[in-house]
């Protein structure tokens, strides 16, 4: 009895795990670009080639192919341009890392500019006071005295 209960629990836990490994048609359609309408993915396109590719993907899912297998078959037939995002290997890594490097470099330039701007303001505020000539100081005191009265 315990063995039967244990097998039932194991079977119920194994089914969702197996379902996660199956590729999703909607996910694949959003990751594959129509070769005719280049910027559009399959889920956005109704061209004849896109409809044939959707049928091909459904057939491959029914046959039990994985997402990677389906993508590799489409890449073999249409080239890497069929993928909505470039693969994360080789020269294509630039497409993933270059924007991040640009953001980091821009932030560093802004930080350096802000630091330098704050230093020039401190230097301007801390400028040494030059004493006035005695005659000019006397005239200034007289004018200020007249102004106050």
* For residue 16, pLDDT beyond 60: no
* Higher-scoring residue by pLDDT: 149, 45: 45
pLDDT in tens, 103-125: 999 999 999 999 888 877 666 66
| Entry pTM | 0.49
- DSSP letter for each residue of 87-105: -SSGGGHHHHHHHHHHHHH
Cβ–Cβ under 8 Å, residues 49 and 38: no
Which tops the pLDDT comparison, 27 or 129?
Answer: 27
Confidence at 12, pLDDT banded by 50, 70, 90: low
For 89-114, what is the mean pLDDT?
87
Domain layout of the chain by residue ranges: 19-85, 89-125
Residue 28 confidence (pLDDT):
87
* Long-range CB pairs of 62-69, under 8 A, 24+ apart, other chains included: 65/23, 66/21, 66/23, 67/23, 67/27, 67/28
Closest among 65, 55, 54 to 22, alpha carbons compared: 65
The set of residues, in sequence order, having a beta carbon less than 8 Å from that of 86 and lying 6+ positions away, is: 80, 92, 95, 96
Question: Over 80: is that where the pLDDT of 127 sits?
Answer: no
In CATH, the architecture of 19-85 is Orthogonal Bundle (1.10)
Q: Is 25 left (phi over 0), alpha (psi -120 to 50) or beta?
A: alpha
pLDDT tens for 20-77 read 567 888 888 888 888 888 788 888 888 888 889 889 999 999 999 898 899 989 889 8
- State residue 5's pLDDT score: 52
In whole angstroms, give the CA distance from residue 123 to residue 141.
Answer: 29
Q: What is the mean pLDDT of residues 84-111?
A: 84
- 82 within 8 A of 74, measured Cβ to Cβ: yes
Burial of 56 (0-12, 13-18, 19+ CB in 10 A): middle
């Amino acid at each position: 009895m315990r063995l039967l209960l244990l097998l039932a629990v194991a079977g119920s836990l194994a089914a969702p795990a197996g379902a996660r490994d199956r590729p999703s048609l909607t996910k694949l359609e959003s990751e594959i670009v129509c070769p005719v309408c280049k910027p559009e993915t399959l889920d956005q396109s109704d061209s004849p080639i896109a409809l044939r590719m959707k049928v091909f993907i459904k057939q491959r899912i029914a046959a039990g192919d994985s997402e990677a297998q389906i993508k590799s078959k489409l890449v073999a037939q249409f080239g890497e341009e069929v993928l909505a995002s470039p693969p994360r290997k080789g020269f294509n890594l630039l497409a993933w890392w270059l924007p991040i490097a640009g953001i980091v470099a821009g932030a560093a330039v802004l930080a350096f500019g802000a630091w330098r701007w704050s230093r020039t303001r401190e230097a301007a505020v801390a400028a040494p006071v030059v004493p006035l000539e005695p005659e000019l100081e006397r005239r200034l005191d007289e004018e200020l005295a007249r102004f106050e009265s």
